[in-house]
Chains A and B, each alone.
Chain A
Amino acid sequence: MSVDATTVRRIAHLARIAVSEDEVPHLAGELNAILAFVEQLNQVDVGSVVPMTSVSPTVMRRRADAVTDGGYGDTVVANAPMSEDGFFLVPKVVE
Chain B
Amino acid sequence: MSELTDLTLAQAREGLRARRFSSVELTGAYLEAMEAARALNAYVLETPERALAMAEAADARLARGEARPLEGIPLGVKDLFCTEGVRTTACSRILADFVPAYESTVTSQLWADGAVMLGKLNNDEFAMGSSNETSAFGPVVSPWRRSGSDAPLVPGGSSGGSAAAVAARLCLGATATDTGGSIRQPAAFTGTVGIKPTYGRCSRWGIVAFASSLDQAGPIARTVRDSAILLSSMAGLDRRDTTSVDLPVPHFEAAVGRGVAGLTIGIPQEYRVAGMSGEIEDLWQRGAGWLKAAGANVVEVSLPHTKYALPAYYIVAPAEASSNLARYDGVRYGLRVPGRDIVEMYENTRAAGFGREVRRRIMIGTYVLSAGYYDAYYLRAQKLRSLIKRDFDAVYAQGVDAILTPATPSAAFALGEKGAADPVEMYLNDIFTVTVNMAGLPGIAVPAGSDAQGLPLGLQLIGKPFDEETLFAAGQVIEEAAGSFVPPSQWWR
A residues neighboring B (CB under 8 Å): 1, 3, 7-8, 11-19, 27, 30-31, 33-35, 37-42, 44, 46, 49-56, 58, 60-61, 63, 72, 75, 77-82, 88, 90-93
Contacts and interface: CB of A to CB of B under 8 A. Distances in A.
A46 B315 CA distance: 16
Contacts of A31: 360, 363-364, 367
- Residue from A17, A18, A40 having most chain B Cβ neighbours under 10 A: A17
B242 interface: yes
Contact of B347 (A16, A38, A39, A51): A16
A11 B331 contact: no
- Binding site of A, secondary structure by majority: helix, strand, loop or mixed? loop
A90 B345 contact: yes
B367 A3 contact: yes
Can you list the 5 inter-chain pairs with the closest CB atoms, starting with the nearest?
A: A55-B440, A51-B382, A81-B336, A79-B333, A18-B351
A81 B389 contact: no
Contacts of A27: 360, 363
Contacts of B360: 27, 30-31, 34
B245 A52 contact: no
Interface stretch (B29-37, B48-56, B261-269, B372-380): B372-380
Contacts of A19: 351
B308 interface: yes
A79 to B, nearest CB: 4
Contact of B98 (A14, A18, A79): A79
Interface string B348-386: 101100100001101110110010010011011111111
Given A44-B387, A50-B386, A78-B101, A33 B242 contact: no
A12 B246 CA distance: 41
B405 to A, nearest CB: 19
A51 B383 contact: yes
- Residue from B336, B364, B440 having most chain A Cβ neighbours under 10 A: B364
Nearest to A57: B465
B314 A56 contact: no
A40 B311 contact: yes
Contact of A17 (B311, B332, B363, B383): B363
B363 A18 contact: no
A81 to B, nearest CB: 4
Given A11-B370, A14-B366, A56-B440, A79 B99 contact: yes
A37 B359 contact: no
B329 interface: yes
A41 B389 contact: no
B332 A11 contact: no
B362 A15 contact: yes
A46 B351 contact: no
A72 B311 CA distance: 44
A91 B385 CA distance: 42
Interface string B72-100: 00000000000000000000000000110
B350 A15 contact: yes
A51 B308 contact: no
B424 A34 contact: yes
Interface of B: 98-99, 101, 198-200, 213, 239, 242-243, 245-246, 305, 307-308, 311-312, 314-315, 322, 326, 329-336, 338-339, 341-348, 350-351, 354, 359-360, 362-364, 366-367, 370, 373, 376-377, 379-387, 389, 422-424, 427, 439-440, 465
B384 A38 contact: no
A80 B387 contact: no
Contacts of B243: 54, 58
Nearest to B341: A91
Given A34-B314, A55-B440, A81 B242 contact: no
A93 B345 CA distance: 12
Given A31-B367, A51-B379, A81 B359 contact: no
A16 B329 contact: yes
B370 to A, nearest CB: 6
B376 A1 contact: yes
Contacts of A51: 379, 382-383, 385-386
B386 A52 contact: yes
B311 A37 contact: yes
A41 B384 contact: yes
Contact of A90 (B314, B342, B347): B342
A82 B311 CA distance: 41
A30 B358 CA distance: 13
A22 to B, nearest CB: 13
A4 to B, nearest CB: 12
A60 B20 CA distance: 49
A26 B195 CA distance: 37
A88 B387 contact: no
Contacts of B382: 51-53
A55 B322 contact: no
A16 B62 CA distance: 53
20 contacts: A12-B363, A17-B350, A27-B360, A31-B367, A34-B314, A34-B364, A38-B314, A38-B381, A39-B311, A41-B311, A49-B384, A51-B386, A52-B389, A58-B200, A58-B243, A77-B332, A82-B336, A90-B331, A91-B338, A93-B341
A69 to B, nearest CB: 10
Nearest to B337: A18
